[in-house]
Structure 1
Amino acid sequence: MEKIIDLFRNIQDVKVISAAIDYADYVALDLSVTNENLVGQKLATAKDYEEYIQNYLDKHQAKIAFGGYIEHRNLYQRSSVFKNDNTDERNIHIGLDLWINESAPIYAALEGKIHSFQDNTALGDYGPTIILEHEIDGLKFHTLYGHLSLDSLNNKKVGNFVKKGEQIATLGLPPINGDYAPHLHFQIIIDMENKTGDYPGVCSSKTLAFYMENCPDPNLLLKIKS
């Protein structure tokens, strides 16, 4: 993974959402279980989170909130995708979330091709999802774009070439986007493990070490400063 990380450090000018919004207008958002500011907040529905995030953006005079990599969260407990009697609870987020309360344009982080796409329809899942495959200097990896609009899957074909900065989708709104406040889940995946159209974006504590190796911090590529 060190070669991938070194590669990312040398790549500049990557935007995956609302390219006209400068990183200076981003603000870091903590949705972890350790954030004392969330105690007492009644955040049960997509609408609750939408209002909370908009108030947070307004308070900080920001346009996009970002964060969530390796963040331990409670917000997945409503869904059997993450919490059920048959598997370990998954509650550690392994992508980067970019929160904006509108159907914003989504762009390819880098040149590549469409690896796969799918509408992951379960409550709390990604909803419409696109995965791109990239190869730079002999290093192959993937980028995942989750919580998109349903229209984003139209006219897509596996293997189609995409340019860096090409618009590939628009952001989805609830309930199509997995029933969340509008946000892009952006994730880097080295080995897709033969999966298509989907890849875990939340893991358990038992599998965290593996996913930290296979899914490095997306901000190494985006370089958003908090």
Structure 2
Amino acid sequence: MTSILSFPIDKAKLAWLDFSAKNQDLHSLNPDDTKAFTSYVFGLIDEQNAQLGIGGWLEDRRIYNTREQFNLGKSRSIHLGVDIWMPAGTPLFCPEDCQIHSFANNEGFGNYGPTIILKSLREELYYLFGHLSLESLEGKLKGQTLKEGETFAEIGNYPINGDWPPHLHFQVMNNLFGKEGDFPGVCARNELKVFEKVCLCPYPFLGISAPRDV
């Protein structure tokens, strides 16, 4: 597989960002203030002299507590993908030979914003790229073939990206349950046993390992 960034992620200096209740900063930071949240995220990356920030798979996140998107009928807080925090406009590359399964602009505060789902041509795997720019959807066709290493999208900016600090939500699934252009990126605690069988650990697909305390 090829890196989804313009450089090998396993060779980069990573800043692992904690958005769980263990992070005391979140008790005073309002993540719904996207400008302030963006300054906080990229401040942490700069402090560590890192090339990008990484947000953990299956992390139980505090930052969803105040967003209606994650509290309609049930409280969803378990993150099913991995976040790559980099500036808006950062180009993204196809990890292997794929076809475009589907795409959509999932609008709304806290949502994915522009989203593309790729399907592997070698096995039943789907790659979700969320929080993209609107330009990333231009000219896209369902079933369109993309070559490994081909650039096809870019990280979007707020508010278009669902009103989040610029980052990519990258998620790998073995089943989409018939969904198109969208798939849950966060689940409730009592849904985890089901979703962790479908939403695979993304780290191997990025060539990295999670630190022991994440």
Distance 2:7 2:135 in 1: 20
Asked whether the equivalents of residues 53 and 86 of structure 2 are also in contact (C-alpha less than 8 Å), the reply is: yes
Structure 2 match to 1:186: 170
Amino acid at match of 1:103: G
CA distance in 2, matches of 1:42, 1:212: 29
Partner of 1:170: 154
Matched, 1:156 2:144: no
2:78 equivalent to 1:92? yes
Aligned sequence identity (%):
37
* Residue 107 (structure 1) shift: 1.1
In the other structure, the counterpart of 2:116 is: 130
**Structure 1 equivalent of residue 91 of structure 2:** 105
* Counterpart check, 1:117 vs 2:103: yes
Question: Which amino acid letter does the alignment assign opposite residue 177 of structure 1?
Answer: N
Which residue does 1:216 correspond to in 2?
A: 200
- Quick one: which of 63, 67, 84 aligns to 1:75? 63
Instruction: Please state how far the C-alpha of 1:79 moved relative to its aligned partner.
Output: 2.8
- The Cα shift of 1:77 comes to 2.9
Alignment partners' CA distance in 2, 1:143 and 1:183: 16
5+ residue gaps, structure 2, are none
Q: Residue 22 of structure 1: CA displacement?
A: 6.6
2:18 to 17, 27, 30: 30
Distance 2:107 2:59 in 1: 23
- How much does 1:135 deviate? 3.6
TM-score by length of 1: 0.87
Helix, strand or coil for the counterpart of 2:170? strand
What's the TM-score, normalizing by structure 2? Answer: 0.91
Query: How many pairs were matched up?
Result: 210
One-letter identity of the residue aligned with 1:120: N
Secondary structure of the residue aligned to 2:12 is: helix
How far did residue 24 of structure 1 move?
2.4
Q: Does the CA-based 8 Å contact 1:50-1:101 persist in structure 2? A: no
> Displacement of 1:67 after TM fit?
2.2
2-structure distance, mates of 1:23, 1:208 = 31
